[in-house]
Amino acid sequence: MTRASRSPRNFRLIVTGGGTGGHTYPALTAIRTLQGRLAADGGTLDVLWIGTAEGLEARVAPAEGIAFATVATGKVRRSSNPLKMVSPANVRDMARVPLGVAQARKIVADFRPDVVFATGGYVAVPAGLAARLCRRPLVLHEQTVRLGLANRKLASSATRIAVSSESSLPLLPESVRAAAVVTGNPVRPEVLSGHPDKAVEALGLHGFDRRLPTVYVTGGAQGSQQINTVVRDALPWLLQRANVIHQCGPTHVDGLSRHAAALPAELSGRYYLAGFVSSELPDVLALADVVVSRSGAGTLAELTALGKPAVFIPLATSAGNEQAHNARHLEDAGAAIALLGEVTAQGLTAALDPLLTDPVRRMAMAERARGQGRPDAADRLVDVILSAASG
């Protein structure tokens, strides 16, 4: 049976999850892919997103023309000390959850979705519980190697649990493993369609020495002071061996620009500093031979789909230390290098040196990274959503 023949003519979907891009953008990519699948079969998608007014989803959904509703919810502020978990803020927020469940139950009952699709974040809990109360199929998607807190709470209620890695399966509670399927983490299609020469032209990288590898450094949209400092201190060494595109975050440009002004002329042409890389990102990634970055789930999905060797500097404060788990997972597979704990310029150069000086080693890591990637994750996830609806 083909995918198209399984697609219903009209499909009603509630999406819930968000707060950050890691939860929001996989949901958006799945929505776009499902719309395309249904349209190809002459069908339509009616979608409603349940989120919070403060989360990224509150901007993304309306901008995409997606109906948006909010519910009350509470955020759990985690701590290694159990006593600190019983904080006034946690108690206050948890008291909001029953109200959020009641609100979400009314939304789900009125909308009557074929599936409720949850991508994590604390806003997903009320809508996920409402799906169970209204007896609607619930599909969870987990972007990281380990289930996040919201998905752990909802796992026993899920019809299907879509995970991003085979390594996630043994980490699931045994009682829900039968509902699990490996789909990967959806990657925006545009990320996979970049061209190196377009990056050179768009960014004016005419001082780059194309005989040398290119390193793309990024700490995310706002930049990372930790990554910026380590790269700044390693820059003279780095520019002797590579071209560097450094996306440092808007607030860090001035300080790094002053440092770059002191570089020798023969090196400064190989350094491109930007506060933010936007529409050029697919082309920059296509040009990059090695990436230095955080290890959020979305970053891992993109880099493995593209087959990019990476040196990861995980965000130490990520929820549940998930970035360190993500980085270790790829390092164990030989698909990346993880720098954990205190990171120095010396540590970074030691990690980069074999990748920059040995093309064979770099290509081997690229191949192992590609072996971890799932560029078809969005289609796999849509298959899971449609199958959940059909029982």
Average pLDDT for consecutive 10-residue bins of the chain (391 residues)?
A: 58 94 93 96 96 93 96 64 54 72 97 97 94 97 90 95 93 94 94 96 96 96 93 97 97 95 94 95 98 95 97 85 91 97 96 98 98 95 96 75
Q: Which residues pair with 13 in a beta bridge?
A: 47, 115
pLDDT the model gives residue 298:
92
Domain topology for 189-372: Rossmann fold (3.40.50)
Strand intervals (E) in 189-231: 214-218
Q: Which residues pair with 138 in a beta bridge?
A: 116
Residues 6 or more apart whose CB falls under 8 angstroms from that of 64 comprise: 28, 31
Distance of CA 142 to the CA centre of its chain: 10
**Residue 23 tokens, joined:** 């939860």
**Residue 173 tokens, joined:** 């509670």
Q: Which residues pair with 116 in a beta bridge?
A: 14, 138
What Å distances lie between residue 139 and 117, 148, 301, CA to CA? 5, 15, 20
Provide CATH 3.40.50.2000 ranges for the chain: 3-187+376-389, 189-372
pLDDT the model gives residue 1:
35
What 3-state DSSP class applies to 294? coil
Architecture of domain 3-187+376-389: 3-Layer(aba) Sandwich (3.40)
Angle of the 297-306 helix axis to the 359-372 helix axis, nearest 10 = 120
Q: Which residues pair with 338 in a beta bridge?
A: 312
- Are residues 228 and 252 in contact, defined by beta-carbon separation less than 8 angstroms? yes
**Residue 26 tokens, joined:** 């996989």
CB atoms within 10 A of CB 217: 26
Give the integer Cα–Cα distance in Å for 231 and 224: 11
Q: CA 175, 179, 184: angle at the middle one, nearest 5?
A: 125
Distance of CA 218 to the CA centre of its chain: 14
pLDDT the model gives residue 391:
75
Adjacency order of strands within the sheet including 290-293: 271-274, 243-247, 214-218, 290-293, 310-312, 337-338
Whose structure tokens read 């989803």? 57
What 3-state DSSP class applies to 237? helix
